[in-house]
Each structure stands twice: as C-alpha cells, then as structure tokens.
Amino acid sequence: MRSGFSNDDVELAATPSERMSSSELAAEWIKTQNRILAFICSLVNDFNEAEDLLQETAAKVFASVDRYDRSRLFLPWAIGIARHVVLDHRRRSSHDVHIFDHEIIDGLAEVFENVSDRSEFARQSLSKCLERVSPSVREVLRLRYEKNLTPTAIASQFGKPPGMVRMLLHRVRAQLRECIEQRFRAEGLQT
C-alpha cells in the first residue's frame, strides 16, 4: 500500500511545532521537483501540460504547507498532491479523460517516491554525458526538448523521414542512460 497523499491527509493540520517553514518547504521542493515532474510526465505525455500541472502542484503544496507533517517524508506527500492534481485535471479536461489504471498510477507513484540520491547525481551526470553529444544531435535534442516538437515535426524541418528521427532519439536516450549508469558505477553507487 502506498504511503502517499490522500484527501484525508490534507485535512489534518500539523501542529505549529511540526509545521514546516516556507524556506524549508522551498528547499524540499527544489530538491524533489525533478522527481515530481517525472512522475507527472509518466502520466501526461505532453511537456507543456506536465509543466502546467507541476506549477499547479507547487501551488497546492504551498497551500497545504500548514497541513504537512514534517515527521513524514516530503516527496511521497508532494507526489500524492501531484497525483491528485493530475487526476483532477483529467476529470475537468474536456478531451481525453483517460489515463493509466489506478494500480499503474499507484505503482509509478511508488517508484518515484523512492527517495534516493540518484536523481541529483543523474542530473549532474546528464550534463557531463551531454558534452559527448555532437552538435547536430544536440540540435535535434533541442528541438524535441526545448521546442517540444515531435519527431514528425523535427523530421519535416530536416527533410528526413520521421522514423529516422525517432530512432535517433531512441538511441541517444539509450546512450545517455548507459553513460549515466557508467558514472553511477564509477562512483560506486547502486544502479
């Protein structure tokens, strides 16, 4: 059973001594926002929508700061709020309201709640690994991840088949994962 957020949790206000200060909350948020975003991205496959939901989650987290019990871990609590935000958004959404089954969502939440130092190390490693990427591939990554273009749109810009761009992105991501794993192993961290 997950140990994350539920509506009941929100209603239980923490006592003043347990209450987290704004600066502490901000520090916790910044440490964990990548994982929270990743969790949202596992449920919503559009970056812009996911980032809007991240901002909404941040707002809800702040709105609930006096209800946060600091004896609990922050990340599961925040992911619980993110889960609620995503599901609520989908319910309100006029178009595709479906998402993964609840057991899959719970399973993903559990994976992302698993606190480890990997996230920060992965982020730092990614910077190093990206240095090995050629300028032309970096440009494709930029179009995908900065401009939020799909492989089909990127392919049309370069006059190449979409399948070629999909394969390129697949390979680059696989190589980046491998590079990060190598750096994990080199540091003696568990992979």
Partner 1 sequence: MNEFQQLVDKWLDGEATPAERDLLNTYLKRDPSQLQNFAEQVELNSLLRTRHDVNGKVVGALTQAAHRLGDLCPVTESTAWRRRSTLLLGACLGAILAVMLTVTGVWWVSDHANPGFVGEAVPPDANSDRLVHSGQEIAAVSELAPSVGRVSRTFNVLWPSETRRWSVEDQLHRQDVIELSAGKIELLFDSGAMVALTGPAVLEIHSAFLVSLRSGTATARVENPESGLFRVLTPRTEIVDLGTEFGVRVDPESQDAEVVVFDGSVNLVPISDADGTHAKSRRLLNGEAVRITKSGDFQRVVSVDSSAYSLSDGNFSEGLRRPLVISQVADDRRDSASPKFYRIFHGGLEEDARAFVDRYHEWNGISEEGMPYFLRGADYVATFNDDKHGSPVITVFLSQPATLYVFLDKRIPTPDWVLESFENTGLYIGLDEHFPEIETAPLGRGPGQSVDHHHLVWKRVVKSPGPVQLGTLNIPLELRGSMYGIAAQPLRQNIAIRKRGPASSNN
The yes or no reply on residue 90 touching partner 1 (CB under 8 A) is: no
Burial of 151 (0-12, 13-18, 19+ CB in 10 A): buried
118-157: which residues touch partner 1 (CB under 8 A)? 119, 122-124, 126-127, 130-131, 135-136, 138-139, 141-153, 156-157
d(CA 73, CA 77): 7
Determine how many CB atoms are found less than 10 A away from the CB of residue 70: 16
Pick from 92, 96, 188, 190: which binds partner 1 (CB under 8 A)? 96
**Nearer of residues 26 and 187 to partner 1, judged by Cβ:** 26
d(CA 14, CA 20): 9
CB 59, min distance to partner 1, A: 4
The yes or no reply on residue 190 touching partner 1 (CB under 8 A) is: no
Q: Which of 60, 56, 48 is nearest to 5 (CA)?
A: 60
Residues in contact with partner 1, total (CB under 8 A)? 79
The yes or no reply on residue 175 touching partner 1 (CB under 8 A) is: no
